Each structure stands twice: as structure tokens, then as C-alpha cells.
Amino acid sequence: MSTESSLAPRQVDHLGIAVHSLDAALPFWRDVLGLTFVGFEDVPDQKVRVAVLLAGPNRIELLEPTAEDSPVRKFLNTRGEGIHHVALRVDACGATLDHLASAGVRLIDAVPRTGAEGARIGFVHPKATGGILLEVSERPEGTGHGVS
């Protein structure tokens, strides 16, 4: 355990970018820009298919909806393609959500759900953050740089 607050986010975990089509979006990010393509992952809980890319240690997730009622489909319909959410890495997702709720912060998820690579994640409502959908993400030990 660190001597710092265990609830303080450690780093930006990833950026989530909503796209209509991974096939259409991936060539720019992987082939032209040259990011390292890690792999695809289906996240049924969010009804998205994810393409995971790395820029050095930094992670970008392209998000393609897999159902009409996917939250990312709704985002695309109203806002178009673009940054969907910012994720911050935390040590304890549930405790962080509890802390935020007790501070009066409006949450989308009161309890953690399962994200890509088995991460425990929760979303904070954009109305509480100045308009940004914020994810807090707790990763199982040893993950975060690959789809296994």
C-alpha cells in the first residue's frame, strides 16, 4: 500500500473514442499514425467491440457499438464520432464510487461493473464533471497492456 490516499486516481488509464466502424477507423490509428495495435475485445456489458491501441504506455480504445441500444450507439446518434469518455486508473473502484457518492457526486454506476480485460469500472455522470463522461477503472494485477 502507498502512503498516498488509495482513492486518488493514479494516471489516465485510457481514452475511449466512439466510432461507427472499427474497420474504417483502425487504418488511421494503426497504419498511418503508427500506434501499436494490441487486439480486439468484445465487452458485452457495454455492447461494444473495442480495438485496443497503445501510444507508448498510453492506451486508446476505439469503441464500435454492437447493438442499437448500446450507449455508444446513442452517443454516435446524438454527438457523432469523437471522444466518448476519459478513464482514470484507481486502486479500488468500489471504494472510489462510494467516496464520490458520499461527496454528493452524481454517478451512473453506484457499484462497479465489468469492463475490457476484466477491469472493474464505474462511470461518473457528465453533469458532475463539466461535461465529460468519466470512467474510474481498477485493473486486475498484471493487465493493462494487452488483450490476453
Q: Which residues bind Zn ion (CB under 5 A)?
A: 16, 87, 135
Q: Which is nearer to Zn ion, 4 or 9 (CB)?
A: 9
CB nearer to Zn ion: pick between 26 and 84: 84
Minimum CB distance to Zn ion, residue 148 (Å): 17
Residue closer to Zn ion, measured from CB, 26 or 136: 136
Shortest Å distance, C-beta 50 to Zn ion: 8
Q: At its nearest, how many Å lie between Zn ion and the CB of residue 112?
A: 13
Taking the complex as a whole, the smallest distance from the CB of residue 104 to Zn ion amounts, in Å, to: 24
| 109-116 contacts, C-beta under 8 A, 24 or more apart | 112/138, 113/45, 114/43, 114/45, 115/43, 115/45, 115/46, 116/41, 116/43, 116/50, 116/52, 116/61, 116/147
> For Zn ion, which is the closer residue by CB, 16 or 112?
16
Q: Which is nearer to Zn ion, 26 or 133 (CB)?
A: 133
Look at residues 78, 85, 82, 129 and name the one whose alpha carbon lies nearest to residue 107: 129
HSE-up of 124 (CA within 13 Å, CB side)? 24
Residues contacting residue 120 through CB under 8 Å, at least 6 positions apart: 93, 94, 112, 113, 114, 137, 138
CB of 1 to Zn ion, least distance (A): 26
